[in-house]
């Protein structure tokens, strides 16, 4: 056996067995392969592999049953589940049952290598510590040595706050459509240790992109992050808004190109965070404390300003032609429950007159009757509003998300007039430019 370790691959597709075994062999691992869940249990007991790649669907025994049996035999087993047609509930169940990771096929070279290395580190920690890692600690394996996943940079306005850093209590998976790509997309959320920040990983290219304004590319209709190899992750603002409100400071998000739009709001992200739990970590978080007014302005009275304030508050004035009209709303982020009630349910919206232009730009392809508000000439044409002023509330939702791209929670009062994603990002860049990195 090689020094790197032994990997058991369980899949009923010969092509998967051959390809995955070849990838891992190239990396110096020994492999054993089987298409049977029953044989996998026998091989595990006899050969004691370091890591297992296990398909959800097997002809003789369900993959989840096999996972359970392996974990009963060895609570420290490092099992990576695989599926080409899994569902959200299946992925979540696998992670709750003790799977170290859940990957959708076809697996990329980088995914396979990262997963097996993470499994080895998990096994090592279980052996040296005399116990298993907690779910919130399991994310460590993916970030210990990767400089691209360092915490966000400090600068003059970053100061230690009084609140603790937070991550999620356990990994989970979400699936849905991308609002602008129209393609089915999925993402997994995984805990990270303190002082790591929020990071995205693109699938299947495995490009790592920090949730920071320096990564922002396009801001037309949504906020898109770009990686070094031109890989992108779009529509990050709704997820970041929920994370900002919940105080989650350390998180790994693996995603296929675009964050699922779900119902067009941040409400389902809030429900997910409540389901997996948000856990406090034994380190205080840092905050961006605004020291003086910063403002960006544009044509037709558009502006975005932030000024010193003991808290985080947003005031927004919105003005569109009827049937939307003029709306204003003031909101202060004091607790997650209030955010979930007043801001998170507000959905993204678009105008029927803009649909043709959006289609020409390749945007809005995922818009459906249940995931956005579509406004016609005289009325909302596809849904009932959740609030009479749902439009302006959604603008505040976007601001809360976009401003989290400073890398830290913000302490200041934001006043917005008719502004959008571009103004949000321009304001962050202004703050960094005038406050200085350091």
Longest dimension (CA), the chain: 73
**Contacts of 420 by beta carbon, 8 Å cutoff, 6+ apart:** 219, 395, 398
- 10 Å Cβ neighbour count for 164? 15
To the query of whether residue 421 is one of the catalytic residues in this protein, the response is yes
Structure tokens at 58: 């097997």
Measured CA to CA in angstroms, residue 179 lies from 226, 259, 357, 378 at distances of 18, 8, 15, 24
- 10 Å Cβ neighbour count for 206? 18
User: Could you give the CA distance from residue 273 to residue 250 in angstroms, rounded to a whole number?
Assistant: 13
The alpha carbon dihedral of 306, 310, 312, 316 has a sign of negative
On whether the CB atoms of residues 428 and 406 are closer than 8 A, the answer is: yes
Q: Provide φ and ψ at 88, rounded to 5°.
A: -55, -45
Active-site residue among 238, 244, 394, 421? 421
Question: Which residue reads 């240790």 in tokens?
Answer: 193
Catalytic residues: 421
């Amino acid at each position: 056996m090689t020094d790197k370790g032994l990997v058991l691959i369980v899949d009923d597709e010969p092509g998967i067995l051959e390809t995955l075994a070849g990838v891992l062999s190239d990396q110096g691992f020994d492999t054993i392969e089987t298409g049977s869940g029953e044989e996998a249990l026998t091989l595990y007991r006899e050969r004691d592999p370091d890591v297992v790649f296990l398909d959800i669907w097997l002809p003789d025994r369900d993959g989840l049953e096999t996972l359970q049996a392996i974990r009963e035999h060895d609570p420290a087993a490092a099992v990576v589940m695989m599926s080409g047609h899994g569902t959200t509930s299946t992925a979540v169940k696998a992670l709750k049952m003790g799977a170290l990771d859940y990957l959708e096929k076809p697996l990329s070279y980088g995914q396979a290598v990262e997963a097996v290395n993470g499994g080895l580190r998990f096994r090592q920690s279980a052996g040296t510590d005399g116990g298993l890692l907690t779910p919130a600690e399991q994310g460590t394996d993916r970030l210990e040595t990767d400089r691209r996943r360092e915490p966000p940079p400090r600068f003059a306005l970053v100061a230690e706050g009084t609140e603790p850093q937070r991550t999620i209590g356990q990994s989970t998976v979400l699936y849905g459509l991308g609002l602008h790509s129209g393609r089915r997309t999925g993402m997994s959320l995984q805990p990270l240790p303190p002082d790591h920040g929020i990071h995205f990983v693109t699938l299947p290219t495995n490009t790592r992109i920090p949730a920071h304004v320096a990564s922002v590319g396009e801001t037309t209709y949504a906020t898109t992050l770009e990686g070094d190899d031109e890989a992108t992750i779009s529509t990050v603002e709704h997820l970041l808004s929920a994370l900002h409100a919940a105080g989650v400071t350390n998180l790994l998000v693996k995603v296929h190109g675009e964050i699922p739009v779900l119902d067009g709001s941040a409400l389902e992200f809030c429900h997910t965070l409540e389901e997996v739990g948000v856990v406090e970590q034994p380190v205080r978080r840092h905050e961006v404390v605004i020291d003086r007014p910063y403002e960006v302005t544009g044509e037709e009275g558009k502006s975005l300003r932030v000024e010193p304030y003991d808290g985080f508050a947003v005031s927004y004035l919105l003005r569109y032609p009827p049937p939307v009209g003029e709306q204003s709303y003031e909101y202060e982020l004091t607790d997650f429950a209030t955010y979930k009630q007043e801001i998170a349910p507000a959905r993204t919206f678009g105008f029927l007159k803009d649909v043709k232009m959006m289609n020409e730009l390749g945007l809005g392809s995922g818009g459906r009757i249940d995931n956005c508000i579509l406004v016609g000439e005289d009325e909302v044409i596809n849904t009932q509003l959740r609030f009479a002023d749902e439009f302006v509330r959604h603008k505040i939702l976007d601001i809360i998300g976009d401003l989290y791209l400073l890398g830290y929670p913000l302490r200041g009062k934001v006043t917005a007039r008719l502004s959008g994603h571009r103004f949000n990002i321009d304001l962050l860049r202004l703050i960094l430019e005038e406050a200085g990195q350091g």
